[in-house]
């Protein structure tokens, strides 16, 4: 397109001093010294009035400075080093390609679009690489993004400085930005393929698209899903371009070099930038010479010298002034420059291409487009981004456990983990794990795609489990492990897999102790004696008051009279009355007093008896953790499992650091100690405690409410690469209700019968004494009945004997 622009100027009959504009091309081989040498020779041999190029950022500074020295403009179509934007440092330099400053902003917005937060940058060690990584770092810091690490590709040795695989796999980010020239991009990608750090686990963002046909076709799946961020032209975003000029340039290209012309859709964007750079020089030179047409001398005048460094273009300031004010619509978009910057004022656009597989093979296709005004937009509705692993879901940017082998440790603790022996198809006995934890691992494995190898941990305290992860014995440990500040300081923990609190565990005691006189306890002994004295005294008063007025009472003996008075007094005192009525006013007044006494005594007795029986039916030594703290149970009768969060709580909240408890080595020992009366109470995690008391140890119960609320988490290494992936999936299981389903499955099972629980009804034992007394009364009543029967029988027998004697006397007459 450089040649096409010059040839088009000739076709448009643009001449300078009556001559067509000519061109000269120099090959630099990517070396600044070659660029300088070729430029110097050309300037010495010809009237060079402008330079298009260089292509590479590392070649550009010396050529830009040389242009300033000889007074000719240097317009690059490909050098993107952000340091070249400084007009004060490079007054003779211009460029039609967007600066990497703009590219860095575009990359930041790409990260925001997909919610990525960090990356690793691989860059080549030259001005292009150093400048790119510098502005990306600055843009990331300004936008709260993180560059986790950087890797240098040495362009001299063409090897990576550092171990690519180790750096990438040991980082928590899986987004890789590769800032290098196309030639080096291919070499680095081959290195990445060899190290297996491409798809599906890593997402690469390249600074330029390259041909993917040179790689092994068997590895194409690993190359799918890469992105590029590269400058493009305005027409891609439906902004105006000079289509007339573009078509004319294409026609010239096809006319002079048809064998090199690709399809118009496949023309490299940098070729269009090169055309605009050349056309800017041509238009500026045309205008410059048109202003000096009346001058007797040529518009192109140099201070001649045999040395290129001492040649100088006369009237260069006027020429630069024309370039600074030149405005036209080019084939890449609007061309206009600011006096303070070397970058074009407008017309910075980018395209994101995605490596996808098609019938024609693996290639990069446009999927997103970017402008300063609109940010990133979809390229077209039919273009979908294919992410690594042929996924349609954007990666999170963090390390994923998909395909990773994990050695997982578990602790046996019903119902979290229960080990059972089963027979496989080969009739071999194998150990199988069931419970909350194995089911949770299965859910996570199905969701995340890791490969698990589960091993049972034995002879370890909970406090020492972190060492197994620190020493890389296990990758993670899943179980009923409480997250504490001490443990978190040494190892990492996942999101909560089980909400927990501590409960007090004790032996069950008999519901009610048999007390034959329990019904008498509502009143004190003195009060009962007072009531008895009141009955006796009142009965005497009734005898005195009523005997004189009642004929029926006068016929009674003193003993019978007193017993009837006692009966009357007792009946009115308890509220049911008697079978005769008082006749005197004094007797009625006394009866009213008995009614008042009855009202208060019966109400008080009923209330106190109900309260005593309610308390008696479920009487424990303590009611909760506050009673433990206040010392209602001797501290040496409290069993604590050593090396657990229970011990940490006891030392922190109860004993102030003193280990005055009964030490336990295992949960089995805890239950045995409770049942054998070696301890009176112990602490246990809520979930396990509820399961055990409902299904295994039916004669053990829980006391009070939960305390020291906390959570169980999965033990991981500190700052684990896959921590975010694990946390996200655990939260997903919570939100979907899967964790609640597991909890219901394993913790709401109940095998212990209801009879083993504390009764809520009042048993006959509490009132047994009352019924015994009633039985005694019944016996006395029967004896009294029998005695009276016998008395009557004796009386009748005596009467019969008397009658027989009388008849005998009569017969003698």
Half-sphere exposure of 51 (CA within 13 A, CB side): 32
Per residue in 663-711, pLDDT tens? 998 888 999 999 899 999 999 898 888 888 888 888 899 998 999 899 9
How high is the pLDDT of residue 553?
Answer: 62
Check if the beta carbon of residue 89 is closer than 8 Å to that of residue 83: yes
147 band by pLDDT with thresholds 50, 70 and 90: very high
Pairing of strands 327-329, 334-336: antiparallel
Give the whole-angstrom CA distance, residue 59 versus residue 53. Answer: 9
CB 727 within 8 A of CB 476: no
Farthest CA pair distance, the chain: 205
pLDDT of residue 580: 67
User: Does position 774 have pLDDT exceeding 50, yes or no?
Assistant: no
Answer with the residue of higher pLDDT: 208 or 569.
208
**Integer Cα distance of 146 and 173 in angstroms:** 10
* Residue 488, CB-side half-sphere exposure with 13 Å CA sphere: 10
What are the residues whose beta carbons fall under 8 Å from the beta carbon of 388, sequence distance 6 or more?
198, 199, 200, 201, 202, 203, 222, 224, 225, 226, 395
Q: Quick check: 297 pLDDT over 80?
A: no
The per-residue pLDDT of the chain, averaged, comes to 87
Helix, strand or coil for residue 70?
helix
Which stretches within 314-389 are classed as H helix?
A: 316-325
* Dihedral sign of CA atoms 214, 220, 226, 229 in order: positive
DSSP assignments along 533-594, one per residue: HHHHHHHHHHHHHHTTT-HHHHTS-HHHHHHHHHHHHHHHHHTS--SS---SHHHHHHHHHH
When pLDDT is averaged across residues 572-589 and rounded to a whole number, the result is 72
Enclosing H/E stretch for 436: helix 436-448
Q: Report d(CA 377, CA 236) in Å as an integer.
A: 11
What distance in Å separates the CA atoms of residue 323 and residue 406, rounded to the nearest whole number?
Answer: 64
Superfamily, domain 2-97+241-332 = Response regulator (3.40.50.2300)
pLDDT at 764: 45
pLDDT per residue as tens digits for the range 483-506: 998 899 999 999 999 999 999 999
Residues 348, 103: contact at Cβ < 8 Å?
no
Class assignment of domain 518-616? mainly alpha
Q: Name the nearest CA neighbour of 174 among 716, 721, 720.
A: 721
- Region 456-474 average pLDDT: 92
User: If pLDDT is split at 50, 70 and 90, which confidence band does 438 have?
Assistant: very high
Q: Which residues pair with 669 in a beta bridge?
A: none
CA distances (Å), origin 312, targets 95, 241, 490: 22, 35, 70
442 within 8 A of 410, measured Cβ to Cβ:
no
Q: Which pLDDT value is given to residue 795?
A: 80
Would you state the pLDDT for residue 558? 74
pLDDT digits (tens, 9 = 90+) for 735-751: 999 999 999 999 888 88
| pLDDT tens-digit series, residues 596-654 | 777 777 888 888 877 776 655 545 678 889 999 998 899 999 999 998 889 999 999 99
CA–CA gap between residue 121 and residue 480 (Å, rounded): 40
Whole-angstrom Cα distance, residue 87 to residue 65?
Answer: 12
- CB–CB of 266/256 below 8 Å? no
Stretch 441-449: mean pLDDT: 94
pTM as predicted: 0.72
User: Using one digit for the tens of pLDDT, what is the confidence trace for 492-548?
Assistant: 999 999 999 999 999 887 554 566 777 777 778 888 888 888 888 877 877 777 766
CATH 1.10.287 placement within the chain: 518-616
User: For a pLDDT cut of 70, what percent of the chain falls above it?
Assistant: 90
**Residue 330 to residue 279: CA distance in whole angstroms:** 8
Q: At residue 192, does pLDDT exceed 70? A: yes
pLDDT of residue 513: 56
The pLDDT, as a whole number, for residue 295 is 55
Give the pLDDT confidence of 340-355 residue by residue, as tens digits. Answer: 889 998 889 999 999 9
Residues of the chain with CATH 3.40.50.2300: 2-97+241-332, 100-230+350-378
> Domain 100-230+350-378 falls in which CATH fold?
Rossmann fold (3.40.50)
**What is the band of 775 on the pLDDT scale with cuts at 50, 70, 90?**
low
* Residue 63 · residue 41 · CB < 8 Å: no
């Amino acid at each position: 397109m450089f040649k096409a622009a010059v040839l088009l100027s000739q076709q448009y009959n643009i001449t300078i001093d009556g001559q067509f504009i000519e061109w000269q091309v120099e090959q630099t081989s990517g070396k600044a010294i070659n660029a300088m040498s070729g430029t110097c020779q050309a300037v010495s041999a010809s009237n060079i009035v402008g330079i298009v190029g260089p292509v590479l950022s590392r070649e550009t500074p010396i050529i830009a400075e040389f242009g300033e020295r000889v007074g000719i403009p240097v317009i690059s179509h490909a050098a993107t080093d952000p340091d070249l934007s400084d007009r004060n440092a490079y007054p003779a330099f211009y460029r039609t390609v967007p600066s990497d400053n703009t590219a860095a902003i575009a990359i930041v917005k790409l990260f925001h679009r997909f919610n990525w937060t960090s990356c690793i940058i691989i860059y080549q060690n030259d001005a292009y690489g150093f400048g790119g990584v510098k502005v990306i770092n600055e843009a990331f810091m300004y936008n709260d993004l993180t560059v986790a690490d950087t890797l240098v590709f040495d362009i001299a040795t063409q090897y990576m400085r550092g171990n690519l695989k180790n750096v990438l796999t040991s980082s928590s980010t899986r987004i890789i930005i590769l800032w290098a020239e196309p030639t080096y991009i291919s070499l680095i990608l081959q290195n990445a393929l060899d190290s297996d750090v491409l798809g599906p686990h890593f997402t690469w963002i390249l600074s330029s698209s390259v041909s993917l046909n040179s790689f092994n076709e068997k590895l194409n799946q690993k190359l799918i899903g890469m992105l590029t961020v590269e400058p493009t032209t305005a027409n891609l975003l439906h902004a105006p371009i000079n289509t007339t000029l573009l078509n004319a340039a294409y026609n010239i290209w096809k006319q002079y070099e048809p064998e090199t012309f690709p399809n118009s859709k496949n023309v490299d964007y940098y070729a269009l930038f090169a055309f605009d750079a050349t056309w800017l020089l041509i238009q500026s030179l045309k205008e410059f010479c048109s202003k000096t047409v009346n001058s007797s001398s040529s518009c192109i005048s140099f201070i001649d010298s045999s040395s290129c460094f001492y040649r100088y273009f006369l009237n260069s300031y006027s020429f630069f002034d024309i370039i600074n004010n030149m405005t036209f619509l080019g084939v890449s978009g609007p061309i206009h420059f600011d006096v303070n910057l070397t970058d074009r004022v407008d017309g910075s656009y980018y395209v994101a291409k995605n490596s996808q597989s098609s019938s024609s093979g693996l290639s990069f296709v446009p999927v997103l487009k970017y402008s300063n005004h609109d940010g990133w937009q979809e390229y077209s509705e039919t273009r979908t981004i294919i992410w690594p692993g042929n996924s349609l879901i954007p990666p999170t940017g963090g390390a994923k456990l998909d395909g990773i082998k994990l050695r997982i440790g578990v602790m046996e603790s019903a119902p979290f983990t229960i080990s059972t022996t089963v027979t496989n198809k080969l009739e071999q006995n194998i150990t199988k794990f069931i419970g909350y934890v194995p089911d949770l691992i299965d859910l996570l494995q199905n969701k995340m795609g890791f490969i698990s190898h589960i091993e049972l941990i034995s002879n370890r305290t909970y406090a020492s489990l972190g060492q197994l992860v620190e020493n890389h014995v296990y990758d993670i440990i899943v179980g009923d492990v409480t997250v504490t500040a001490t443990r978190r300081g040494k190892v990492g923990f996942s999101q909560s897999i089980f909400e927990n609190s501590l409960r007090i565990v004790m032996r069950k005691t008999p519901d009610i102790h048999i007390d034959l006189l329990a019904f008498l306890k509502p009143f004190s002994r003195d009060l009962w004696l007072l009531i008895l004295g009141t009955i006796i005294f009142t009965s005497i008063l009734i005898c005195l008051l009523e005997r004189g007025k009642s004929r029926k009472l006068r016929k009674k003996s003193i003993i019978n009279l007193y017993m009837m008075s006692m009966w009357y007094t007792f009946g009115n005192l308890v509220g049911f009355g008697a079978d005769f009525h008082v006749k005197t006013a004094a007797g009625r007044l006394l009866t009213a007093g008995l009614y008042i006494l009855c009202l208060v005594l019966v109400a008080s007795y009923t209330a106190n008896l109900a309260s005593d029986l309610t308390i008696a039916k479920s009487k424990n030594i303590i009611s909760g953790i506050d009673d433990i703290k206040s010392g209602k149970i001797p501290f040496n009768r409290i069993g604590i499992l050593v090396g657990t969060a229970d011990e940490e709580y006891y030392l922190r909240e109860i004993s102030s650091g003193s280990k005055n408890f009964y030490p336990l080595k295992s949960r089995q020992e805890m239950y045995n100690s409770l049942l054998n009366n070696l301890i009176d109470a112990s602490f246990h995690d809520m979930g396990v405690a509820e399961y055990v008391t409902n299904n295994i140890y039916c004669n053990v119960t829980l006391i009070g409410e939960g305390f020291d609320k906390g959570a169980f988490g999965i033990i991981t290494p500190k700052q684990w690469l896959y921590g975010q992936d694990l946390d996200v999936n655990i939260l997903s299981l919570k939100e979907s209700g899967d964790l609640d389903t597991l909890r219901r499955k394993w913790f709401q099972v109940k095998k212990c019968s209801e009879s083993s629980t504390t009764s809520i009804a009042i048993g006959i034992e509490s009132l047994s004494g009352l019924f015994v007394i009633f039985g005694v009364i019944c016996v006395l009543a029967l004896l009294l009945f029998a005695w009276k029967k016998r008395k009557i029988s004796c009386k009748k027998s005596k009467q019969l004997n008397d009658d027989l004697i009388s008849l005998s006397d009569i017969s003698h007459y």
